[in-house]
Amino acid sequence: MKFLRRLLILILTFILLINITTIAKYIFPMKYKDYIDMYANEYKLDPYFVAAVIKTESKFKKDATSKKNAQGLMQITPETGKWVAEKMGTKDFNIDNLKDPETNIKMGCWYLNNLKEEFDGNMDLVLAAYNGGRGNVQKWLKDAQHSKDGESLHYIPFKETDKYVKKVKVIYNIYRFLYKS
């Protein structure tokens, strides 16, 4: 009986190890890959970074809506959506467009790139601004309690934003591991 139990555990462990990547890809899908690749490339972003933001924001649910009314895959608020559409020169923008995966990914990538340019490519600051607001990040950078050099943050006062930055970075590394050829 002990032998059979050990054999079963060994077989199950072997099967699990063989299928770990398949299981991980199920947990960390790369849905909307064509849109992610296209707009990540257009806006000079790492597609795995974009996928990590989407996974963190909406778990790839295109109809996701937050308590703050952020919408779609990349959880863009109506106010940010209007602002981004205006900056992008989109004339026929409607809030309902945020539920469209292609539109949401395009606008989200544009916005991430806009933040990337503002924060000189510091992706931690980009993530903090995407979640906690660019104005807050600018304020924190000027405060010695949060930034020693005015260029990076050693302390993020919003717990949600601090957790968000760390979570996206972990998920980004998982996506790179799973999908990078």
E strand or H helix that includes residue 78: helix 78-88
What is the spatial distance between Cα 68 and Cα 78, in angstroms, rounded to a whole number?
Answer: 10
Asked about 86 being catalytic, the answer comes back as no
Contact in structure between 176 and 168 (CB atoms under 8 Å): no
Distances in Å between the Cα of 141 and the Cα atoms of 4, 126, 128, 146 are 61, 13, 11, 7
Residue 120 DSSP SS3: coil
| Beta bridge pairs of residue 71 | 65, 76
96 burial (CB, 10 Å; 0-12 / 13-18 / 19+) is: exposed
Out of 57, 86, 117, 118, the active site residue is 57
Known catalytic residues are 57
